Chain A
């Protein structure tokens, strides 16, 4: 049996390849990025010609994957949790249309927000859409679940969500591989109206969805991942979901499980097992990585049943990711601790790389906007968000992909002058284009600075759909040539760049300034690879 040392992300990617996936779709986002990167670097995927190019955003990725499923092939789409918000329209409706070839949606959550704007829990989305959800606790389980997820997807003709969190996504372990399956033949859906959500059809399909969601919990492909282990201490029963199960086992060990333990790693809720453990035990502790999904359901609105401990009563902190110590405390075990961090240890916050073009762009922007007063720069999600921190303190917002452009429009509508947006090239093609069209159509008084480093920098330098196209795109959307400026953010152009920015701030219409200089990380990687002859 072949074994590989794989990140949780990579285990999912390898499994999808072994399960006969024909297409992988994604937009980079921590901690999900390595799923697509693994498929891209896989020699086998190359030989099989598995589709594996980045998409412009999570919605286009989700829809393309649905299209591949329509054509009868197995497809996977991966994103970070907030990406599922972007893809939500397609995701929710894909449960209504159903699938043809198996379709897996992987959403990688980031509790504790290591590199995210919130810590939303994707399991809610699965419940909302009424599709099965797998929540692996380790790399091997993640690998195996992909096979079952494809099968369940095809059996129930539903997309399946796999929800992982940062720890599993970015932790490596040895994974035993299964025998690889062939890819599916192309086939169009037998019902030509399956994907046509006209109201009359949608109403029928919704009734069918409601029925199939109820039957999912009895399917072995799903139910086998939920396991109950009885224990002798019946005063407390523990329900542990996904990776929380590892922290529990770390504390109580395999051999001496005293408490009855229900492990939940697949949804819908295993109602019978939950009923069983609550009947056996006087009190229940619920351990979940993320939001209290199971806990809220079990408590209900009136919360007058059995005694329940969890995040809602702060037995476990209400926010943030779990760790072995938090779980130890929750079950009443002592927590050992090394020694304190000496006071002289200072924070080492992330910062711009030496020589980064974003930094030069901000240097000029700070000078140019000084005379207008603070609070006028809307920004976005990418390395340049570091412009919020000292010594720059140059931006006033970072909300969601593309919001810099549209918030600047709204602020300009309210009379804020100048209203400036700072957005990266990849974020611009992800979700900035439609906002720019709004601005052009309304002739909003905004200045949009596209800080173009020709890559998706923050996630490690993936290709950016915008590279070499930004000027044309802006022209095509209708930005006038006189107010479409391209500058090079370099120290030597500082004065000139300030002058151009000031000029465009003063223009009462749409200006776009493209500050274009390649990311120094990707540039140096290219140099190194050229030097070594690769």
Chain B
């Protein structure tokens, strides 16, 4: 088993929490794991990506080779397209549709979505809306993780456990909000 995942978004959007949740679940499942963080020089506002590699055998490269990613999980639509050279031909792209616009020449969202729809396997979700509906506007990242969860080779329950561990210190309320967001995302991609 091998699961190569690229996480993408903009600095401050919570992709490192997604990485941490998958990482914790992988450790609990006794999988080999490498998770490489790539961020530019600024703390906020620049593009951010993380390469996550899960396998039942030792993982060599910290970076996923081009054309080998099984899944792109993106919390921002334009950012999801930046990593297409890594996506394998049967890979899935799961992305938020809500744009993070902090550059003047940001393209029209409709055109971005049109490009995403050209990918054979894609799921587009307005995570910000779903997060609001599930009562926690800040857990859009967990909605996206939930939507991507069918394509991650680990049980949904192990992701739930990871979220309990990850947010446990912040109190039961935060844990519940994130679990709810995760489930909402999962249900959407199940449809």
Chain A positions within 8 Å of B, measured between CB atoms, are 3, 5, 7, 30, 114-115, 167-168, 170-174, 243, 246-247, 249-250, 254, 323-325, 328, 335-342, 344-351, 353, 383, 386, 457-458, 460, 521, 532
Contacts and interface: CB of A to CB of B under 8 A. Distances in A.
Given A167-B36, A338-B66, A351-B45, A250 B85 contact: no
A341 B106 contact: no
Interface in B13-55: 23-24, 27, 32-38, 40-47
A325 B46 contact: no
A457 B105 CA distance: 27
B124 interface: no
Contacts of A346: 78, 103, 105-107
A437 B78 CA distance: 50
In the complex, which of the residues A254, A339, A458, A521 has the most CB atoms of chain B within 10 Å of its own CB atom? A339
Interface string B47-71: 1000000000011111111111100
B82 interface: yes
Interface of B: 10, 23-24, 27, 32-38, 40-47, 58-69, 78-79, 81-82, 84-89, 91, 102-103, 105-107, 111-112, 115, 119, 170
A323 B36 CA distance: 13
Contacts of B65: 250, 323-325, 328, 335-336
Contacts of B23: 5, 172
A341 B188 CA distance: 27
9 contacts: A7-B37, A114-B40, A174-B27, A324-B63, A338-B67, A346-B105, A348-B102, A349-B46, A350-B45
Kindly name the residue among B38, B42, B82, B102 whose own CB sees the greatest number of chain A CB atoms within 10 A: B42
A172 B42 contact: no
A125 to B, nearest CB: 24
A250 B86 CA distance: 15
Contacts of A521: 43-44
B85 A339 contact: yes
Contacts of A532: 170
A172 B35 contact: yes
A246 B60 contact: yes
A507 B115 CA distance: 58
A31 to B, nearest CB: 10
Given A114-B41, A171-B34, A174-B33, A338 B62 contact: no
A341 B47 contact: no
Nearest to A534: B169
A342 to B, nearest CB: 5
Contacts of A340: 84-85
A173 B19 CA distance: 12
A341 B8 CA distance: 14
A345 B38 contact: no
A399 to B, nearest CB: 16
Nearest to A339: B84
A338 B102 contact: no
Contact of B61 (A250, A336, A386): A250
Given A172-B35, A247-B61, A353-B45, A341 B40 contact: no
A239 to B, nearest CB: 17
Nearest to B30: A174
A338 B46 contact: no
Given A250-B65, A338-B91, A348-B78, 8 more contacts: A5-B23, A170-B38, A324-B61, A325-B66, A337-B66, A338-B69, A338-B84, A353-B44
